[in-house]
Amino acid sequence: MDGGAKLPVVVYIHGGGWSRGAGSLPVYDGAALAERAGAVVVNFNYRLGAFGFSGHPALEDPTTGLHTNWGLQDQIALLHWVSDNAKAFGGDPKNITLVGTSAGGASTWQLSLLPQTRPLLRRIISISQAHVWSPYLSLTQDDATAVFDALAAAQGVSVKDLRAVPADRIRDWWVAQFAQPRHQRVVDSGRQYRGPVRDPVLLPAFDVHQPLPDIPAISVYTSTEGSFFTGPNAPEPQAPPTDGASLHAAFRDILDQGMPSVSDSTVSDAVALYTDSAKREGRPSDPLALWTELWGDALIRHDILAFTRRAAAQRRAPLYLMEYAHPVKSPYFGVPHESTSPFLFGTYAHPANVAKFGDGPKERETSAAFMDLVAEFVHGRPPASPRLPQWDPVGPDLRQLVLRDGSGTITTPTKTTQLGVLDAVQWGK
């Protein structure tokens, strides 16, 4: 690479629910995006799980003096390293775009607000971002300390000595702990592990209570985020609902993740609204389809659209909204969470991906259009592609680009009536 070049730099943060994944996976190979965008693409790994996004005073980082959210600390350190070294690999340290998907998308949002990293960033692209949601269920520092104390006791070591315990033993205990019903968990509150914990330096408030980023942003969601959680090879497979009773129970399980208590009437209202909305709009209303919709709305889409409405009202900086709508191949269905990455990076035809995503003309055109948008944006121009209509930042009418089959349309978000259930219960607040 020409050290004298000044190419824009794209730093990508992988997702995985703050507990799995790696920037080195083939799906994130940045070669095609770098070539098409004329940019330097950086992928990296960061700490995950118990030693990534929790905390305990005995595990204070000697460099930072912090004892929480080590994965977020890794991300901060990486951005500073890139800024310090970008020139050596042909990058412009003053033109860094931070991109991330899912948990990584949430990190792009948080890092754009932190005083340690905000000056390093010119713009962000948050894809299917899982905002640090449900304050009722995200661990507090006291919760995190209690869980680490219990983990150390279960392993027969001190908290400091947990670093010497095999990683799989820590992971298995951690997963089993939070898979239990609320009343059986170590934390008295029954809270659930959901990524970063609150701390005064790195996460002074949950996303919903923080200001919006004041730099240009693209925000992306998929048409059926939930089919990642309800379709084949789901990360935590569950038996799908098949009738009214099991659908009611499945809705309760989801709502229970974001509310201190869930009444039968709230669950019934949610089932009724999702059913009525689907029938009125001509969409499938079977139990699997409705369950899939609530999964996607509760974990991803509700918050993305809520933040977009705030951005449209406040107009702190341009925010572009996109619905990614290119479907996957059978037996997978819909447009699942994380179906964007193979098209952003042009890796849809990789042997590990092709059965799910395909490798036909529509896939090639979709990927080319997606990379065109990113290329223009990272060069400081409005996102655009010769394959797509003009795409403007969101305004009061909340217009979005819908990308499917290599072409696009400008619309307003659909399936918004059903979100009223989550608004009514102050979801994530």
**DSSP for 212-279, written as a single string:** PPSS-EEEEEETTTTHHHHSTT-SS--PPP-SHHHHHHHHHHHHTTTSS---HHHHHHHHHHHHHHHH
Query: How far is the C-alpha of 300 from the C-alpha of 337, rounded, in Å?
Result: 9
Query: How far is the C-alpha of 421 from the C-alpha of 193, rounded, in Å?
Result: 24
Q: Is residue 280 part of a domain?
A: no
Q: Is residue 328 part of a domain?
A: yes
Q: Is residue 196 part of a domain?
A: yes
Residue 14 has phi, psi (to 5 degrees) of -70, 160
Tell me the one-letter amino acid at 364.
R
Residue 41 has phi, psi (to 5 degrees) of -110, 125
Q: Is residue 239 part of a domain?
A: no
pLDDT at 88: 94
Q: Is residue 286 part of a domain?
A: no
Domain count, the chain: 1
Nearest alpha carbon to residue 328 among 313, 318, 311, 340: 340
- Is 0.85 surpassed by the pTM of this model? yes
CATH number at residue 374: 3.40.50.1820
Task: Name 267's Cβ contacts closer than 8 Å, sequence gap at least 6.
Answer: 248, 251, 252, 255
Task: Let me know: does 7 contact 37? Beta carbons within 8 Å.
Answer: no
Tens place of pLDDT per residue across the chain (429 aa): 555 679 999 999 999 999 999 999 999 999 999 999 999 999 999 999 999 999 999 999 888 899 999 999 999 999 999 999 999 999 999 999 999 999 999 999 999 999 999 999 999 999 999 886 667 778 889 999 999 999 999 999 999 999 999 999 999 999 999 888 888 888 877 788 878 998 899 998 888 888 999 999 999 999 999 999 999 999 888 999 999 999 999 999 999 888 778 899 999 999 999 999 999 999 999 999 999 999 999 999 999 999 999 999 998 899 999 999 999 999 999 999 999 999 999 999 999 999 999 999 999 999 999 999 999 999 999 999 999 999 999 999 999 999 999 999 999 999 999 998 888 887 766
Q: Is residue 213 part of a domain?
A: yes
Query: What is the spatial order of strands in the sheet that 217-222 belongs to?
Result: 40-43, 7-13, 91-101, 123-127, 217-222, 319-324, 400-404, 407-411
Residue 372 has phi, psi (to 5 degrees) of -60, -45
Q: Is residue 51 part of a domain?
A: yes
Q: How many CA atoms does the CB half-sphere of 78 hold within 13 Å?
A: 23
Q: Is residue 257 part of a domain?
A: no
The two tokens of residue 137 are: 């269920």
Extended strands (E) in 80-214: 91-101, 123-127
Q: What residues make up the domain containing 54?
A: 7-233+303-414
Peptide bond into 260 cis (omega under 30): no
Nearest alpha carbon to residue 411 among 282, 339, 342, 325: 325
